[in-house]
Each structure stands twice: as C-alpha cells, then as structure tokens.
Structure 1
Amino acid sequence: MDGDGDPALKIPAPSAPAPSPWPPCHTLYRAPEWAPTFSQGPAIPWTPGPNPENVGQPEEASLEEQQEEAGAGEERPEEAEAEAAAYLDELPEPLLLRVLAELPAAELVQACRLVCLRWKELVDGAPLWLLKCQQEGLVPEGGAEDERDHWQQFYFLSKRRRNLLRNPCGEEDLEGWCDVEHGGDGWRVEELPGDCGVEFIHDESVKKFFASSFEWCRKAQVIDLQAEGYWEELLDTTQPAIVVKDWYSGRSDAGCLYELTVKLLSEHEDVLAEFNSGQVAVPPDSDDAGWIEISHTFTDYGPGVRFVRFEHGGQDSVYWKGWFGARVTNSSVWVEP
C-alpha cells in the first residue's frame, strides 16, 4: 500500500525543535561590556590563618627570639674573663705569684703584662722568674746563691741552652757545613777510634770524627742567633756569654796541624769580635795524640752581634796521601745564661 492509503497509518513528520535560550557549547563565551577585567599579577603566597584552638592564647616566640632570650641569661666570655681577672687580682701577692708561675713563659710576657699595672710589675720582677726556675729545675730549690738581677733573662737563656752547631760529629756526613774546602783527598768521616787513634772517652755518645788530608781541609757554619730564638734586646743589653769548644786529635804515626777561627758578626757581617787559635802542631808519638779540647768564651762584646761564624780545619805534616791529618769532633757553640 502506498502512502496515499489509510491516513491512520501515516507517520507524522517530526516537528522542528524549539529554539534554546543558551548558545551552543562550541560557541565562545564573551563577557558583557560591563563585566570587570582581571590582570595576572604576582603569586601571593598562602599563609595559614590562626588556629582556632590558639585564639585567646599568648603568641609563641620565634626561633630567633628564643635564642636571644636564652643567650641573655648566659655570661659572655669577655665578662667571665674580666671577672676571673678581678678575682685573681684580689689574691695576696705570694699566692698570685704561684698562680702566674704555672703559665707558659710566652703568655706571661705577651699577655699577662697587659692585664694591669700590678701584673706587669710582677711579670717584670725577679721573684716570679726565680720561682719558675726553681719549679723547672734550672736552679736549686729554695735558694738563689748568686742573687741574679735578671732572672727572666736567665730563665729564657736556660730554656734555650743547647749546641747551636749542626752535625758536630759527622753523623750526617758533611750535612750542615758550608764553605767546605777539600784539600788533598778532602774530608772523610771515620768511626772512632780510627787507625792509630784513641777512643773519645769524654762523651760516650760521640761515635765518629772528621779526618783531614795532606793539604788544608776546612769547613764552617754560620749561626743566626735571632733565628735560634735570641732577640735583639737580649743580645745587645744582656750580652750573654758565647762559649765555643772543639776537640782535635792526631794519629800516633803522623804529625798534623789544626786551626780554629770563630767570629762574632753584625747584621751586615762586620766582624765585632774574633778568636783564632793559630796553627797548632801535633807531633807524632806524643801525649798530644789523644783528644784535646780547645775553648774560648766571648763576653762584653758590645751591641750588634747577630751571627757566629765557626770555622776549623787541619792537615797532616808529612804530606802523605790519604787521611793522616788532624781529626776533629764534638764541636759546639753555646749561649750561656
């Protein structure tokens, strides 16, 4: 049956939808002209608001404020030192001297003298340094027979007292020696007693010696006194004694010659004082074939001494090849208190 048949069987045509009051989803929204506009500014950090439980409670202090409050109750180091110094200053002088004598000497001179006038007078005075000398065994306990005027200088000189020459017995070959002259076959280090020699009975620690040859062999050392711890004022004012010693020997089968020269030099190496032994002849087969000590003490040498030059040498007197010349060992330079 075609569509023109029974009208009850006809399907009605769909009606058009009613228009929607809203624009379709794909249509861009355009704000009305009256709407306010917003520009993107800097981000504002979020901060929490007050805890409702803490409302009405006192505000908690920050970490910095807590540290300041904790430090306010503590005593500062400067205040503690000042309080300790004030306490020590109230001590009787004998007791304060005992306390100061326990401190290192460098702190006494460099720091304690600056505390107050009383401490300066104590550090500069003789009783404190006499007490330190007694405590450290530099003088007999309980007495000072010689009544020294400068116990401070005596203390420092005693603490520095040592042989200022390096390698005096040849344990390190010729290390430490300068201006070395190798006449003939030159210097040689030998073990004691050596051929046709004798033992060194004056010091058991000495095991070796320097042997010279058939022409003059010489060697020297220059000692910088300031580098060794002796300051200008001490050298110029106190002028401590400078003691020089040397030991020499010959062989029993050959004669020899020996010579020692020591000079005290200024900063510019001008000679301010000098000692020279001259050439000392040691004949063979004599009592002088043993070890002989030679020494000299410099005193009252005047201001300006800064260096000590020590030089010695020797040779044989028979001109034999080898090492038949003078032997030397245990050389020393001391600054005495």
Structure 2
Amino acid sequence: MVFESEGDGIIIEHPPVYCEQTEVPVCFATSYFWCSRYFEIDLEKFGVQNWVMDFIRPEIIVRERCACREDCGAVYELRAQLLEDDEEFDKNAVSSRAERTWDQWEGGKSWDTVELVLRDYPSGMRKLGVLSRGKDTLFWAGNYGSKFGATEVLIKFPDTPTEVRVPLAKVLLRHFRTICCAFEESHPPYCACISLCVFFNGAKSYRCIFDQIVAILLLETKLQ
C-alpha cells in the first residue's frame, strides 16, 4: 500500500471527524491538496488463476464508501485498472474512474457507495490496481478533505453457465500438467488437436471444473 499526499497529509480517523460515524467507523481523511492511497492485488495469489482471467473473465468489482465533513466542500476519486504482470498503473487514464463532489454544508450526513465494474477486458490481466484520492475545495489547513474507507474487491463469476472453448494445449498443458502428461503418452495425436468445452457456473468450485475436465477426457478417449 502506497500513500502520496500534499498539504497536511492523509490521516486515519477513528471515528470520522464532523461526519456520520456509524456507517464507516474508520476512514482515511485527506487535506487541501490531493492525497492518495494506492494498492495492487496479485489476483493469482488471491486464488483467481491465470486461466480464469484469460478465459472466464469474471467481473472485477471495486467498491468503496466516501464522504466529507459538513463544514467544508470536498472532491473524491476512485480509479481501478487491470494490469499485466509488468504493467504500471496509468494515473492519466480517464476510464474506470468514479468521482464525487460536495459543496460546503452539503456533505457529512451519510456515506456514498462508489463502485467500479471491470468487464470485457483482454486476456493477460494479472493484477488489479486501485487508487483512491481526495482533497477539500476551500484550501483549509488540516484534514478537511474527502474521506474514504470500507474498500471491497469482489470477483463475480457468471450467474448462468458460460461456454468456454479453449485449445487443450493452452489449458491442460499449463494448468493440469499431470493429467495431460498421462494422456499424451497414450493418445498424442488426440491431445494435440482436441478442444476442451467447459461449462462454468459462478456457484461451482474449481474442483467441479477439474472434475468436468477429467470426465470429458475419459469419455472422449473411450470413443477413440
């Protein structure tokens, strides 16, 4: 997690100052120049395997709560980007961005929920970068800028079965090496050309997918 700040910096408020305190009991508070928090998630380390990102492409949902003080106007931004292994977050990108602005005496009574949904992305995405930032609009010394907290990242798989066709060499050889090696020894021509059809449902576990792959291979092999 990386923090960048100007003015009087970014601080943690527990509870939030001069703002509704029960919805989000702990938050970050910004100052009179931009203050930001950035973090990256290695999706594979958190259980989302590379082949899932390449072929299933679940929706990635980034959700956060934001607010400001009653006595000072403020602005807030949330940005999220899916990145390749060696790709860096682009702070100048205009897509996948949400903003909130409050005038003086307008905020402080409740927290807004801001949400970004990343979908239809290209294959090769391996990391998620999330940037939250804010400041006040009156340039008051101290931490009168926007507040944010309760950040969530959700992985949403399809609600209905989705047909995914991928070459066997790209899935089994990479992700199910043991099974593939066994079949290569007995049916090398078959393993080189077959396509695997997997029906994936959000409620199913990875184990279910694994079992389906084995069942398809066994069935198709018996038919040879």
TM-score, length-scaled by structure 1: 0.43
Q: Which consecutive residues of structure 2, in runs of 5 or more, have no partner in the other structure?
A: 158-224
Counterpart of 2:82? 264
- Give the match's secondary structure for 2:46: coil
Cα distance in 2 for partners of 1:221, 1:240 equals 20
Partner of 1:197: 19
Q: Is the counterpart of residue 181 in structure 1 residue 4 in structure 2?
A: yes
Structure 1 gaps of 5+ residues are: 1-176
Give the SS at the match of 1:277. Answer: strand
Bigger proportion of residues as strand: 2
Structure 2 residue identity aligned to 1:199:
Q
Structure 1 residue 277 and structure 2 residue 98: aligned?
yes
Alignment match, 1:247? 65
Compared CA separation, residues 238 and 271, structure 1 to 2 (3 A): farther
Matches within 5 A, 1:300-315: 300-315=120-135
Preserved CA contact (<8 Å) 1:282 1:288: no
Query: Of the candidates 127, 139, 145, which is equivalent to residue 319 of structure 1?
Result: 139
1:271/1:251 Cα in 2 relative to 1: closer, same or farther (>3 Å)? closer
8 A contact 1:192–1:209 mirrored in 2 = yes
Offset of residue 288 of structure 1: 6.6
In the TM superposition, what is the alpha-carbon distance from 1:256 to its structure 2 partner?
A: 0.6
TM-score (norm 2): 0.64
Give secondary structure in 2 for the equivalent of 1:234: helix
- CA separation of 1:321 and 1:215: change in aligned 2, threshold 3 A: same
Q: Deviations over 1:286-313 (max 9, x none)?
A: 2575211110211221211100000011
- Name the counterpart of 1:294: 114
Q: Rg bigger for which structure?
A: 1
Match of 2:53 in 1: 235
RMSD of aligned alpha carbons: 2.1
Bigger relative contact order, structure 1 or 2, given CA contacts below 8 A and separation 6+? 2
What is the percentage of aligned positions where both structures have the same residue? Answer: 27
C-alpha contact 2:98 2:115 (8 A) present in aligned 1? no
Shift of 1:207: 2.5
Report the Cα offset of residue 268 of structure 1: 2.3
CA distance in 2 between counterparts of 1:255 and 1:239 reads 39
CA distance in 2: counterparts of 1:287 and 1:257, whole angstroms:
11
